[in-house]
């Protein structure tokens, strides 16, 4: 598979959320169309609804894991465990690189944002945040996961 890391970063830097950038870059590999992928991942940005909780790229990795190996049978305990193991593995790899999966910790801010209104996307915005690098890190992890098929 040709790497899509640059594409994911460019998608983020064109104005999409971190979660959307990662998710939409790979969702087509699992049969999902672009519009559905963007809609599904849109609330995950900003650490879920700009609450600065789990980083949007980590949420996107979990959603992609679900598309790849998600459990659809409520009685399949082994299947449920398998997707949880995969999700933890992805989060652990991200944490190894970035020391956290929590948005506010990655951004160096305290608590939840007062407003749900997104910050203006300016050159300064992109330069002052680690988000482009985090999108790249998550994309590399996703590509590693996909190559393990």
Q: What pLDDT, on the 0 to 100 scale, is given for residue 1?
A: 73
Length, in residues, of the chain: 149
Q: What pLDDT, on the 0 to 100 scale, is given for residue 83?
A: 96
Q: What pLDDT, on the 0 to 100 scale, is given for residue 34?
A: 98
Q: What pLDDT, on the 0 to 100 scale, is given for residue 149?
A: 57
Burial label for 134, CB within 10 Å (0-12, 13-18, 19+), is: buried
Q: Are 79 and 71 in contact (CB under 8 A)?
A: yes
State how far the Cα of 17 lies from the Cα of 149, in Å rounded to an integer: 27
Q: What pLDDT, on the 0 to 100 scale, is given for residue 85?
A: 96
Nearest C-alpha neighbor of 86 from the set 107, 103, 65: 65
The segments of the chain whose pLDDT lies below 50 read none
| Domain definitions of the chain by residue range | 5-144
Burial label for 70, CB within 10 Å (0-12, 13-18, 19+), is: middle
């Amino acid at each position: 598979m040709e790497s899509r890391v640059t594409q994911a970063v460019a998608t983020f830097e064109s104005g999409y959320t971190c979660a959307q950038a990662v998710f939409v870059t790979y969702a087509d590999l699992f049969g999902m169309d672009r519009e559905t992928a963007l809609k599904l991942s849109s609330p995950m940005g900003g650490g879920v609804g700009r609450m600065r909780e789990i980083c949007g790229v980590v949420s996107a990795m979990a959603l992609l894991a679900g598309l790849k190996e998600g459990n659809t049978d409520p009685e399949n305990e082994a299947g449920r465990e398998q997707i949880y193991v995969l999700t933890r593995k992805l989060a652990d790899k991200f944490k190894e690189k970035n020391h956290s999966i929590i948005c506010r910790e990655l951004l160096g801010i305290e608590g939840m944002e007062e407003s749900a209104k997104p910050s203006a996307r300016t050159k300064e915005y992109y330069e002052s945040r680690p988000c482009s690098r985090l999108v790249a890190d998550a994309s590399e992890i996703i590509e590693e996961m996909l190559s393990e098929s």
